Chain A
Amino acid sequence: MAEDIAIKVENVSKLFKLPHEKQGSLKSAVVNFYKHKKGFELQKALKDISFEVKKGEFFGIVGRNGSGKSTLLKLLAGIYSPNTGDITVNGSLTPFIELGVGFNQELTGRENVFLNGALLGFNRKEMIKMYDDIVGFAELDKFMDQKLKNYSSGMQVRLAFSIAIRAHSDIVVLDEVLAVGDASFQQKCFDIFRDLKKQKRTIILVTHDMSNVERFCDRVLVLEKGKILNVTTPSKAASIYARLNIEEPGETKGSPVKKSESRWGTGGVKIEKVLLSQDDTTGNKIFEVGKNLKIDIELKRSKGYENTPVVCGLAFYNKDGVNISGPNNTGQPIKANAQKLTFELKELSFAAGDYDLTVALYDEEVISPFDVLDKQVHFSVISDHIVHGLIEITDVAWQSD
């Protein structure tokens, strides 16, 4: 194996036997044997996975629930063994699948520190040297001779974390340890990450929080259904991942108007079709931030309304039902006999997520509605970077004096 490779995974597959019922006894084993029943189903958690992690790399593994990322992590950590294929690890490796593994509620804080330290590979002498630092970092000096069961969960996490960060192995494997703890604790985690990155240690982070991936990772592996979709840059991975999380687009040819409870109006002028497009590709339902979003609304005029001016209003709702924006064309030149209205958002600036669109047609005075289509058009926005808040404001300037 080349010198600069930390972990090499070759053609790894992992099968799980899922028992039909709890097969915890000899009886069921014997019964199944005589009935020629297998008593279990095989599930392929990982299929033919190959990749390499370079030394000093901050490597991310992302995937949805059930994509096999935890299985892959446990294989890397040496907790599971693969059914086929090889995993070669170059250097010492410490997995953090959970903080405070082996913590025993009946032991005192002090005893737990030594036990946990031993599990991380420290001997007693080394632990005695580090003990004060660990306790100081966890801010638990007064509690060390109390049993762990008298600790709050926050105290336990703090203690576990301050032991965990002492691990000095070449490769660190982290599994969403960040999910626990309050903001200040997470901040501490981030600081540690930055330190680890500076020290050029190899880190593998398994997560589904894309903001952490973007913040720290050099390269990202995207897993889906036990297969590698891509190994790529964090920003590309973020958009691949976002696309995975959006329900598969079904009907892509516009949104034909249907009669329903969420539709009302006098019907003089009707919405025939709402068509969303980006970059000259129509029929999309997934749009990227920063690019334009075009909405074409085709109208159907009843007899007697052929030359009626129409005011069109839109409303964008996010998943929480919050109206992000409600543009309309009052004050704009309106062609009296228009057959099609086009709305164009020059630079899509919504935060990534799913949106519902309301389209409404009113008369010139905006008093009586011709046709209102309430939240019947759905689309999604993906982003290759994180937008904080509901919307990204562009055209801004920072100054520092």
Chain B
Amino acid sequence: MIRIPHVLSKKNRALLSELVRTDFKLRYQGSVLGYIWSLLRPLLLFTILYLVFIKFLKVNYGVPHSAVYLLVGIVLWSFFLEMTSGCVSSIVGRGDLIRKIRIPRWLIVISSSLSAVISLLLNIIVIAIFMVLNHVAVSADILWLPLIVLEMYVFGIGIAFFLSAAFVKYRDISYIWEVICQALFYLTPLLYPVAKLHWPIVREIIFSSPLSQTVQDARYTIVTHKTYTISQAFPSFWPRLIPFAVVVVTFLIGVSYFRKKSKTFAEDI
């Protein structure tokens, strides 16, 4: 079902852009501040975490610009969370389309994920503003950021394909995923300084997750080179490929499961 010329066909692109547009318009339907919520939500979350972890608990991350450092983590995590949990119900939510017209099913998941991408782009603007305010020195490493985000997207979309297909039959999926996300939230060094964890095995487990690896790499490239990254967690080279392998395997499993199940979406929904 997923072939490159097919994906990029004129018809699919038009459809995709129209679906994303609709999603975005409908998201803040009836709210006074509208799109601003896309920015305001992570900012408010950030403010709370900033007050709790930096001002009151005085957690020492061992890095300069700890506020921006914290913000980058929150924004990337929000992106992952919004994409995966937004996509879970995407197929079921568009059941009317699936049952009545011929629409590539994967397009629905992609369109749903793209609204998370739009939020991310808006949030990156916020990060940029904070960087300027905090006088963060920008290095050429920032060019790596798109690749890091891409890795996170591929990981997220693989999960999204799997979840959205499974959700058609098992509505328990959304609750299960909620719990798993809570676990992933703590597995990812968003709020705690990972360098200070005593046992190396814990650090290795943490960095086996693509989320930890991408968040820390993003912080390394745009905030500070003092960020504790995967190369410190795994002194030897080969284990450093674990998170990438996880991404590839997740993506392949997600896509193949989705392809297999998508044949009967119309009758199962």
Contact = CB atoms under 8 A, between A and B. Distances in A.
A77 B102 contact: yes
B29 A79 contact: no
Looking at B15, B29, B169, which has the most chain A CB atoms within 10 Å of its CB? B15
Interface of A: 16, 23-27, 29, 74, 77-81, 93, 95, 97-98, 101-102, 104, 106-107, 111, 114-115, 117-119, 121-124
Looking at B11, B18, B170, which has the most chain A CB atoms within 10 Å of its CB? B18
Interface in B152-207: 169-172
A32 B263 CA distance: 23
Given A26-B172, A95-B101, A119-B101, A106 B14 contact: no
Contacts of A107: 22, 25-26
Given A25-B172, A26-B172, A106-B26, A114 B98 contact: no
B18 A114 contact: yes
Interface residues of B, number: 29
A118 B18 contact: yes
A115 B169 contact: no
A121 B267 contact: no
B103 interface: yes
Nearest to A175: B100
Contact of A24 (B17, B98, B100, B169): B169
B97 interface: yes
Contact of B22 (A74, A95, A111): A111
A79 B98 contact: yes
Contacts of B18: 114-115, 117-119, 124
20 contacts: A16-B267, A24-B169, A25-B170, A26-B170, A77-B102, A79-B99, A79-B101, A101-B100, A101-B101, A114-B18, A114-B21, A115-B21, A117-B18, A118-B14, A118-B17, A121-B11, A121-B15, A123-B13, A123-B14, A124-B14
Nearest to B170: A26
Given A81-B263, A118-B18, 6 more contacts: A77-B102, A102-B101, A115-B18, A118-B14, A119-B97, A122-B14
Contacts of A95: 100-102
A24 B167 CA distance: 9
Contacts of B172: 25-27
Contact of A25 (B11, B29, B171, B266): B171
A25 B18 CA distance: 33
A74 B11 contact: no
A98 B97 CA distance: 10
Contact of B102 (A27, A93, A118, A122): A93
Nearest to A15: B267
B96 interface: yes
B100 A78 contact: no
B143 to A, nearest CB: 32
Contact of B100 (A16, A27, A98, A121): A98
B97 to A, nearest CB: 5
Contacts of A25: 170-172
Looking at B10, B14, B15, which has the most chain A CB atoms within 10 Å of its CB? B14
B264 to A, nearest CB: 7
